[in-house]
Structure formats: C-alpha cells, structure tokens
C-alpha cells in the first residue's frame, strides 16, 4: 500500500516534469518567430540586410515604425475595414451560430437530422474555388462590397457543431422543459436561458470568429478591387507581394512600377502593428476558452 | 398551443431571413455596382444606350485613379456615350485572379494581356473574342494605327485576339555594376564569366562589408545563362531545363543534367564559398535593385533591362552623387538582341463582354486620341505633370503626386506618336538605338505552350525545383555532383522526361507552322 502510493507520486512527478518540458519547448517554438519579428521591427534595415535577423536587435532603430506611420491613411483605412468586419462579422456570426446550435440540439425539432446532414455534408464535399467565386461574384454580385468580407465567414460547420454540442451539455433538456411549463416560449428560452448558460461556448466560438475575420486576407484578395476597402492583412500582404513581384516577374516583362518599396524593418513593424490588437483580446476570453473547448468530453 | 408554436417558428424564420437580407442590403448600398446588371444589350456603334465598361488591369491602382476615371468618363460619355470603370487586380495572386476573372464568366469588357499572362493559351482556349470582324466596324483608326505585321504576329490559329502595343522596346537584360568601385580598385569590366568573377573577387577583397551579388533567390542563373549562351529566349532560361539555341532552333537538348549545367553549378558553389552571396540568399526578400541602390551590393545579374537600369541610375544620382553605375548588355555577349514581341503588351475583349463594339471603340480612343492617352498615361496636365521642352515632368514628387508617369500601368496603350519621356529616359532610348543595330526577330514569344497534357507533372516539377535546384543554384549543397544527381532523379520521378518530350513536340510544330528553320 505504502509503496504504491510512493510510486504514484513518483509517476506524478515524472509526468509533471515531462509535461512542463513539452509545454516549455512548444511555447518557445511559438514565441521565437514572434520575437524575431519584434526584434526585426526595432532593428535598422541595414543590420537586417547584412546580418539577417537576430533575437535581440543589434542596431536599435525605430525607422520601421516611422515609415509605417509616415503615411498612415492607407494603414488606418485598412484598420478600419478590419475592425468593422471583425466586429460585425463576429456579432452576426455568433447570433446565427447560437441560433443554429440551439435549434439543432432541440430534440423536438423534427428535421434536425436532415438539416444537420446538409451542414456536415459541406465539410466533406466542397465545390472548390471556382464555383465559390462564381457564386459570390456573379450571382450575389458582391464584388467590392463589405458584405463579401463578412458573409462567407459567418457560419462554419465546425463552429456550429461545437456550439450545438456545447448547448446540449450546458443546457439540460429538463431545464428547457420546465421553462416551457412556466410559460416561456422558444425565444424566451433562447435569450434568457441558452445564451446565459452558453457563455463559455459563445466566448470560444466568438474568439474563433474574431480571429478568422481579423486574419482574413483571401476574400479581399479575390473580391475587392477598391484599395480603400482592403482588409489590414491583405494590405500588408499585398505590399510584400508587390516587392516580390517587382523582383521576380519584372524580369523580362519590362514593366515599370512606380511604387515605394518598404524595407525589411518596415515590413516587420507593419506585422507588429497588425497583430497587436488581437493579442489583447486573448486574455479576456482565455478564461472561457478551456472550458468551452473541452465541453462534451465529460458526461455529467 | 401547437399551432401557435408553428406560427412562431415560421415567424422566426422569416425574421432571421429579413435580418440577414437587411444587413446584405445595407452593405451593398453605395458600392455603385448595383447599376451594372441593368445595362445590358445596346451594341450599335453610333452611341446608342449608355453602358458602363468594365476595364481590368493588373497591379495596384494609383492614388488619383478616381479623378482620372471621372475625367476619362466625361470625354467618353460625350464621344461614345459610355462610362468606364477601371478595376485593378493587385499583385497578390494576380495570376489566380486573372484565371478566375476569365473562367467565371463575370462581365468584363477589356482586359490586359501579355505573353507572361499566358495570352496565347487563353486565346487558344477561347477566353477572348476574335477581333478580326469587329476591328473594321468598331475601330478602323485603331486598325490602321497598328502595322499589318504586328496584327499578323499576334494571331492565334489565324485569328486576332489582342490589340498589341505599337511602341517597340527592349527588355533584354544586362549586368549592372558599380563602375566607381571598379575604377577605384582597378578591376576588369565584368563582360564575361571570367572578368565577372575577377570583378566580384575584387569587390569582396576591398569592400568586406558588401555582398557582391545582389540577386535574391536564384535569379542570377538567368543572367549567367544569357552571358554564356545564345539561347532563343530573351528572358534568360527556357522552361523545364531545356536548351534551344537561336541559330539552330530545331535542335533541342536538356540543359539540366548536362556537363554545362554541372559546370555552372560548380561556379555558383565556388561563388558561395568566396562569399559572393549572402548566407540567407534563399530568403532575401529585398529587391536586387534596392540592394544596389543602397550600396549593399555591387552587381545585379538578372532582371536589369535598360528601363530598370535607368531607374537605378536616377535613384543613385539623387542619393549618392559620387557613385557611378556601369552596364553591360547581355545582347552584346550574345551578338544579337530581340525586341519585345507584339504579344508582350496588349488588350483583349473577354468572351463575357456584353458590349464588345463599344469596348473596342473606347480602346481606340485610349490609344489614338491624345486627350485620353495623356490622361491615362500621365494624369491631368498641370496637376500631375507638365511638359517641359518636350519632356515629361512630374509635379511634386512620388510621395505627393497621386498619379506618377504610367501610374495606371498603361503599358499596353502607349502610343509612340504621343509618348512623353522623362529627360533621364534619353539614355534608355540611346541604348535602344544601340540594340537596334544588332536586332534579330523574336522567334520564341510567338510560341504558345499548352501544358494541359502535363499539368500534374509541371506542378510536381516546380516543387522539386524549389527543393533541390535552388539550393544548388546558390551553392548551398556541399557535394554539387551528388546534389545535381539527386535533383535529376527527383525531377525524372516528377515527370521531367514526359514534359520535355511534349514541349519539344509542341515547339517543333510551332517552328513548322511559323516557317522557321
């Protein structure tokens, strides 16, 4: 008896050592690239070009940030678009996803299996890029609208499934039943009970949605022709691509481009400016995060 | 109770839909695209119903584009009763967007074409409207403006699909180098592989803080090939590692895996060992030109056509007046120069166009009417540019001017009769004159490669190239011979032989049809 307990604690200790070591290594692996960018943004361009990137700036300089904010209108516009799409998209998406999740987990919804099938089916078989593009551009006529930046990302099957399972485990059927007996209708149940109890799930899904919108560049790339409507990520990505383009494609094409090309440190500074705000969102939702994701694992 | 629930359920559905539609509508308003759908039909040349033409260009729009657009529209509305909307793809994934635009059937009236946007293959696939019958009806002036031999040169399967630019230019490349350093340390002019290496050695020895070669990735290989061979392709390498010499175009061999290839790779390895490349050369994202302009590097080996070299000279003159740049044009090593093919810059009418005649009539104005041409090439006179002694002069500088010269990327509608050059461009024109003396026709660009038979292999090969060839090109592989063998083995697995055989077949068919021996 005594020995098993000792061995138990030995194993616990061993487990903890391994666990901490693994987490430590993983965290460092995640942090290092970010540190490199951070240090790059504070280095002078010359030192980057000559010696490459360092973990700590060898030649401290703020010229990157100066460049970014020298002509801030474009960056600010792109910021505005991204903030707008993120806020509206997340709010709207949360509303739709919680609604869908709520409806799909209700046992008294007759067609829930049919609807679920339609939703899950799209995760297995997608139409591909071209039909998707044709749908949005030709049928919905969404080119150069803010709608196109929000609409395609509103609902994803994965998040609906997540939300459905969450609501199922957070809101017992008995609760819904008793509320009904007390005279609450479905909307009342949705607003007063489901939304309140599903808070951790909403925070999780909300964060996923917000990250999705914040990091989105592809939709801008395909559907937006008006530079004032570029999302922040695309603005950044496009600036970098123009540089690559000048280098790679301009060979033998003889085309002349009359744009200013930002330097290495400027690009890094831009990356920091772009990622900054979303980093601050993390601590606020983080406490819900663990609970939200693991729900459904324990039946209780 | 049950009934009521049902009604509420219905109601809630409707409500959700309405909410959704409301949001959609709110976002759609003010985007100015909604009017487009109603403007169909109307294809008579004499004015007719007013239409909005959708005009697609590559790259990024200049800041002042809205101003230019409204000015152009004032003219176009009076002349042709059309409006034009200028759209830009941006350089990010432009090739994918280009493909989507053409394959989605989205209404478009005019789109940029070039050999490097695969004009030939899109034309073959039927993405563009043939212009042969439209031209005399809708744009007779344009038809006579473009010389007959140019119209013939852009024909695909006997039909014209693009309006070529009539301005002749050379995009042949050359070596740009720091002439002042060469004089200072008494180095040879880099005009052959040997003198180039000696020059680079001298730079490395005397200027230890410099990285002699500015090329990022492995672009220098394009340059070296032009310096040491008489390839049929002006722009350096041929695809899939093939070798086709200008003097004997029907003889095709594989450069990859040849003893010449091994020799070249050994040279690059030696260069790396001597420190001519930066250690992280595969990740350098700065342009070669900016490295040269900042004094970080002494030599640019690829992509340096007369135009770009001129831009470097101007930049260096303003920032480092004590520096001097030298230029050695590869055509001088090859013994001949090829001007750009008419396919190189042009405009086509996509099949999805609803107003092909109006589109062509508008394009005619753009090219042959000085008012349109100057507006779209140089901006508003007095606001964006001035004419001084017959030269173009920008108002303000690149930061304050919202429409620099050719700011709309209007390379395709340059008209030699109206063109304004910057004073500094005289040097480029002088270079063109020199190249004119050793001019030979471009026999390569008229060829349209059709890669559908080996599409999968092509994609696989590109991966193999990146993984195994690029490190060899910059001397990052210790054992060059073994490295080349590995690359060849992997390339063969990817289907190199099939690609080369099919390409060879297509090339020989082209030679036969074009009557080239």
Yes or no: say if B339 and B168 are a contact pair by the CB < 8 Å rule: yes
- Residue B101's Cβ-count burial label (10 Å; 0-12, 13-18, 19+) is buried
Size of the A and B interface in Cβ pairs below 8 Å: 166
CB–CB contact B100 A130 (8 Å): yes
Reduced to 3 states (helix: H, G, I; strand: E, B; else coil), residue A164 is: helix
Scan for tokens 């803080």, then name that residue.
B209
A87/chain B closest Cα distance in angstroms: 14
- Judged against a pLDDT cut of 80, whether residue A251 lies above it is answered with no
**Nearest-Cα residue of chain A relative to residue B234:** A252
Q: Which of A290, A120, A97, A294 is nearest to A194 (CA)?
A: A97
* A5 class by beta-carbon count within 10 Å (0-12 exposed, 13-18 middle, 19+ buried): exposed
CB contact under 8 A, B290 and A263: yes
The DSSP string of A209-222 is HHHHHHH--HHHHH
Give the per-residue pLDDT at B17.
46
**Cβ distance B134 to B110 under 8 Å?**
no
Across A69-78, A224-233, B198-207, B434-443, least confident range: A69-78
pLDDT along chain B (517 residues), means of 10: 50 48 43 38 56 90 89 93 91 87 89 89 90 92 91 88 90 89 90 90 88 78 87 78 88 90 92 84 70 84 83 80 89 87 90 93 93 92 89 80 84 90 84 88 80 87 90 88 93 92 91 79
Beta-sheet pairing, B174-178 with B391-394: unpaired
- At how many degrees (to 10) do helices A199-215 and A157-170 cross? 170
SS3 B87: strand
Inter-chain residue contact A260 with B307, CB threshold 8 Å: no
Helix, strand or coil, per DSSP, at residue B368? helix
The pLDDT, as a whole number, for residue A69 is: 73
- A183 φ/ψ sector (left φ>0, alpha ψ -120 to 50, else beta): left
d(CA A186, CA A99): 11
A251: nearest CB among B62, B294, B303:
B303
Are A256 and B399 a contacting pair at CB < 8 A? Answer: no
Contact by Cβ (8 Å): B73, B84: yes
Q: How far apart are CA B145 and CA B164, in angstroms?
A: 10
Where residue A289 falls among pLDDT bands split at 50, 70, 90? Answer: low
Contact A254/B at CB under 8 A: yes
Specify whether the CB–CB gap between B56 and B84 falls below 8 A: no
Cα R_g (chain A), whole angstroms: 25
What residues 134-153 of chain A have any CB closer than 8 A to a CB of chain B?
134, 137-138, 141-147, 150-151
As a whole number of angstroms, the distance between CA B385 and CA B403 comes to 9
Contacting residues of B for A260, CB less than 8 Å apart: 398-399
Nearest Cα neighbor of B292 from B210, B220, B235, B170 is: B210
Chain A residues lying within 8 Å of B12, measured CB to CB:
186-187
Whether chain B has a CB inside 8 Å of the CB on A257: the answer is: yes
Residue in A241, A250, A264 closest to B303 by CB: A250
Question: Does the pTM of the predicted model rise above 0.90?
Answer: no
pLDDT of residue B402: 82
Q: How far is CA A65 from CA A33, A83, B506, in A?
A: 19, 21, 52
A25-57 pLDDT, tens digit per residue, is 999 998 898 888 888 888 877 677 666 677 787
ipTM score assigned to the predicted complex: 0.72
Residues 6+ apart with CB under 8 A from B198: B187, B188
Residue of B nearest to A135 (CA): B104
**Torsional sign, CA A151, A159, A91, A76:** negative
DSSP B263-325: HHHHHHHHHHHTT-S-TTGGG--S-HHHHHHTTSEEEE-SS--HHHHHHHHHHHHHH-TT--E
pLDDT in the model for residue B38: 37
Cβ neighbours of A254 in B, within 8 Å: 169-171, 305, 307, 340, 344, 411
Q: What is the DSSP letter of B388?
A: E
Model confidence band, residue A263 (pLDDT cutoffs 50, 70, 90): low
Q: Which residues, at least 6 apart from B374, have a Cβ–Cβ distance to it below 8 Å? A: B381, B418, B420
Instruction: Write the residue in B9, B87, B296 that is nearest to A49 by C-beta.
Output: B296
Separation CA B451–CA B506 (nearest Å): 10
Residue contact B104–A46, C-beta within 8 A: no
Q: Does A33 touch chain B (CB under 8 A)?
A: no
* Tokens read off for B451: 């890669």
CB A94 within 8 A of CB A209: yes
| Dist CA B288 CA A208 (whole Å) | 40
**Would the CB atoms of B235 and A252 count as touching at under 8 Å?**
yes
Alpha helices in chain A (DSSP H): 2-41, 45-51, 63-68, 72-105, 112-124, 129-134, 147-150, 157-170, 173-181, 186-188, 195-197, 199-215, 218-223, 232-248, 264-294
Give yes or no for residue A217 having a pLDDT over 80.
yes
Tens digits of residue pLDDT in A109-140: 888 889 888 888 888 887 788 888 888 888 88
Pairing, β B110-113 against β B51-57 = parallel
DSSP line for B159-217: B---EE---------EEEEEHHHHHHTTPPP--SHHHHHHHHHHHHHH-TTSEEE---T
Q: Which helix (H) or strand (E) holds B56?
A: strand B51-57
Cβ separation B409–A257 shorter than 8 A: yes
User: For residue A35, what pLDDT is reported?
Assistant: 87
- Residue A94 CA, chain-centre distance (Å), reads 14
Residue count (chain B): 517
Most confident of A191-205, A239-253, B308-322, B485-499: B485-499
Strand B110-113 to B163-164 pairing: unpaired
Distance, in Å, from the CA atom of B165 to the CA atom of B413, rounded to the nearest integer, reads: 6
Phi, psi dihedral angles at A13 (to 5 degrees): -60, -45
Chain B residues near residue A71 by CB distance under 8 angstroms: 399
C-alpha Rg value of chain B to the nearest Å: 27
| Per-residue pLDDT at A254 exceeds 50 | yes
């Amino acid at each position: 008896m005594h020995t098993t307990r000792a061995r138990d604690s030995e194993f616990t200790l061993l487990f903890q050592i391994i666990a901490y070591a693994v987490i430590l290594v993983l965290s460092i692996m995640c942090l290092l690239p970010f540190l490199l960018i951070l240090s790059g943004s504070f280095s002078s361009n010359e030192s980057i070009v000559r010696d490459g990137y360092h973990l700590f700036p060898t030649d401290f300089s703020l010229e990157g940030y100066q460049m970014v904010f020298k002509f801030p209108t474009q960056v600010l516009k792109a910021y505005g678009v991204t903030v707008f799409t993120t806020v509206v998209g997340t709010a709207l998406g949360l509303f739709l996803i919680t609604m869908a999740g709520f409806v799909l987990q209700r046992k008294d919804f007759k067609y829930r299996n049919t609807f679920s099938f339609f939703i899950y089916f799209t995760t297995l078989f997608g139409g591909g890029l071209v039909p998707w593009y044709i749908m949005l551009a030709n049928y919905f006529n969404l080119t150069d609208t803010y709608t196109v930046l929000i609409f395609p990302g509103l609902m994803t099957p994965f998040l609906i499934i997540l939300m459905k399972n969450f609501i199922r485990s957070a809101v017992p059927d008995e609760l819904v039943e008793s509320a009904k007996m007390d005279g609450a209708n479905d909307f009342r149940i949705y607003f007063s009970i489901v939304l309140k109890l599903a808070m951790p799930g909403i925070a999780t899904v909300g964060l996923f949605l917000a990250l999705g919108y914040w990091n989105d560049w592809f939709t801008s790339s395909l559907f937006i022709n008006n530079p004032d409507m570029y999302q922040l990520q695309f603005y950044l990505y496009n600036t970098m691509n123009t540089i690559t383009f000048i280098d790679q494609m301009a060979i033998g094409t003889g085309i002349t481009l009359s744009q200013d090309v930002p330097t290495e440190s400027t690009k890094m500074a831009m990356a920091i400016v772009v990622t900054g705000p979303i980093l601050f969102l993390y601590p606020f939702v983080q406490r819900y995060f663990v609970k939200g994701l693991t729900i459904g694992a324990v039946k209780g | 109770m049950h009934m009521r629930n049902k009604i509420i359920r219905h109601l809630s559905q409707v409500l959700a839909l309405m909410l959704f539609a409301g949001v959609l509508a709110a976002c759609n308003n003010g985007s100015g695209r909604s009017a487009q759908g109603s403007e169909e039909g109307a294809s008579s040349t004499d004015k007719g119903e007013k239409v909005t033409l959708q005009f697609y260009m590559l790259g990024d729009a200049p800041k002042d584009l809205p101003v230019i657009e409204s000015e152009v529209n004032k003219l176009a509305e009076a002349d042709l009763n059309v409006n034009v909307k200028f759209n830009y793809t941006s350089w990010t994934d432009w090739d994918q967007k280009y493909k989507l635009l053409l394959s989605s059937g989205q209404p478009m009236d005019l789109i940029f074409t070039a050999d490097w946007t695969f004009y030939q293959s899109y034309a073959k696939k039927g993405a563009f409207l043939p212009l042969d019958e439209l031209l005399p009806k809708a744009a007779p002036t344009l038809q006579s403006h473009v010389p007959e031999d140019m119209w013939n040169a852009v024909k695909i399967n006997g039909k014209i699909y693009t309006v070529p630019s009539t301005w002749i230019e050379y995009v042949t490349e050359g070596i740009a180098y720091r002439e002042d350093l060469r004089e200072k340390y008494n180095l040879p002019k880099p005009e052959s592989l040997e003198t180039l290496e000696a020059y680079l050695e001298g730079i490395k020895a005397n200027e230890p803080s410099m990285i002699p070669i500015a090329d990022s990735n492995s672009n220098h290989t394009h340059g070296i090939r032009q310096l040491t061979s008489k390839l049929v392709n002006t722009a350096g390498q041929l695809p899939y590692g093939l070798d086709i010499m200008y003097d004997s175009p029907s003889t095709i061999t594989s450069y990859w895996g040849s003893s010449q290839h091994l020799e070249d790779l050994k040279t690059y390895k030696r260069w790396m060992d001597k420190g001519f490349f930066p250690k992280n050369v595969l990740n350098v994202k700065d342009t070669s030109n900016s490295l040269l302009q900042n004094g970080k590097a002494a030599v640019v080996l690829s992509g340096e056509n007369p135009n770009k070299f001129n831009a470097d000279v101007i930049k260096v003159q303003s920032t480092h007046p004590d520096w001097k740049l030298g230029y050695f044009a590869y055509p001088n090593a090859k013994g001949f120069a090829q001007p750009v093919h008419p396919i190189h810059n042009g405009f086509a009418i996509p099949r999805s166009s609803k107003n092909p005649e109006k589109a062509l009539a508008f394009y005619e104005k753009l090219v042959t009417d000085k008012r349109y041409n100057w507006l779209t090439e140089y901006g508003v006179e007095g606001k964006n540019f001035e004419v001084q002694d017959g030269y173009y002069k920008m108002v303000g500088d690149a930061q304050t001017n919202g429409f620099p010269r050719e700011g709309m990327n209007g390379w395709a509608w340059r008209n030699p009769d109206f063109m304004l050059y910057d004073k500094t461009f005289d040097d480029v024109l002088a270079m063109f004159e020199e190249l004119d003396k050793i001019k030979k026709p471009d026999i390569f660009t008229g060829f349209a490669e059709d890669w559908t038979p080996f599409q999968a292999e092509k994609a696989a090969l590109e991966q193999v190239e990146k993984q195994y060839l690029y490190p060899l090109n910059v001397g990052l592989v210790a054992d060059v011979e073994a490295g080349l063998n590995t690359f060849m083995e992997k390339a063969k697995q990817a289907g190199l032989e099939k690609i080369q055989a099919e390409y060879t077949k297509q090339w020989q068919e082209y030679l036969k049809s074009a009557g080239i021996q």
